[in-house]
Amino acid sequence: MSKTQRRVLILVAMVVSSWWLVLAPQLQAQQSIDVRIERWLSIQEMAGDVRYLSPTGSRAAAIGDRLTAVGDGVRTGNDASSTLILDTGVGTITMQNNTELEVRGLEFADDNGYITRLYVSQGGVSLNLRRFTHEGSELEIQTPSGVSGVRGTEFGVLVDPDDQRMGIATETGEVYAAAQTETVTVPGGFQTLIRPGEPPLAPTPIPDVPEFDSQVEIVVRNSLRYLLLRGRIDPINQVYVEDELQTVNEAGEFEYEVPARYGVGIQVRVVTPLGNEAVYDVPLL
């Protein structure tokens, strides 16, 4: 090979090397985009009447069903529950009975983290999440009253189907609660309440036992005697009497009436945003 040919080969090699230095980062970036997989949540466990929702309708849910697009969701009926697992394996979302959850966003952050946005129109969800590995990752629960978000913790959200108030309780870690341009931090062991059109209340410690006070009165109407239960709970929670969800006022007060007869007793069940329950057997006569 002549000196001239060697010079030409060296020049070609230098040009190729220069172009590779320019194109390699672009090709690598393109490759990182191409390998991104479809985002999803999957039904891991279920019990009772659970429905899979999509923009085109609903059907009976099954283990392994995936929520992959905006508008996909899950609804649990009376005495039903469901547990969803996130595609990242970061944790689980457990749905209480009479809960409806819908996907609002399954996105990627700039640092390839995962951003998950869910909407809970009613009912309760409990989340058990480990710390995210990417700073840009986030899981956000939206409700008619406000928003709660986290980057790894254990917390619960409870949305009342009547007045759409939103209770938020944090077991470990830290979450934020936002509404009406105001945001509060809810650390582990604390809870807060958001009512529609209002900012979050200042967080307060979670009591060891859910609050429940009651008294019974005898009411006579049209010569018939009735027993009237007047009860009060923390409005951050929900209350069921004989498995029927009760409507409470802003102070957490409610009433329940039954025909008077001896030996009557009723069961009262208080449910917290974390999914914990306290059951009370209330004697009426």
Q: Which of 202, 195, 108, 97 is nearest to 146 (CA)?
A: 195
Sign of CA dihedral 106, 111, 113, 115: negative
Q: How far apart are CA 126 and CA 157, in angstroms?
A: 6
pLDDT confidence tier of residue 8, bands split at 50, 70 and 90: very low
Instruction: Give the tens place of pLDDT for each residue, 82-100.
Output: 999 998 788 899 999 999 9
Instruction: Give the tens place of pLDDT for each residue, 175-233.
Output: 999 999 999 999 999 999 999 999 999 999 999 999 999 998 888 888 888 889 999 99
Does the pLDDT value for residue 174 go beyond 60?
yes
Q: Which of 153, 151, 46, 154 is nearest to 101 (CA)?
A: 46
Q: How far apart are CA 84 and CA 106, in angstroms?
A: 14
Which tokens belong to 153? 């913790």
Sign of CA dihedral 150, 151, 156, 161: positive
- Whether the CB-CB separation of 68 and 96 falls below 8 Å is answered with no
Low-confidence winner among 12-16, 116-120, 159-163, 171-175 (lowest mean pLDDT)? 12-16
Which tokens belong to 196? 């529609």
Does the pLDDT value for residue 64 go beyond 90?
yes
- Rounded alpha-carbon distances, angstroms, from residue 138 to 44, 47, 90, 189: 21, 28, 11, 21
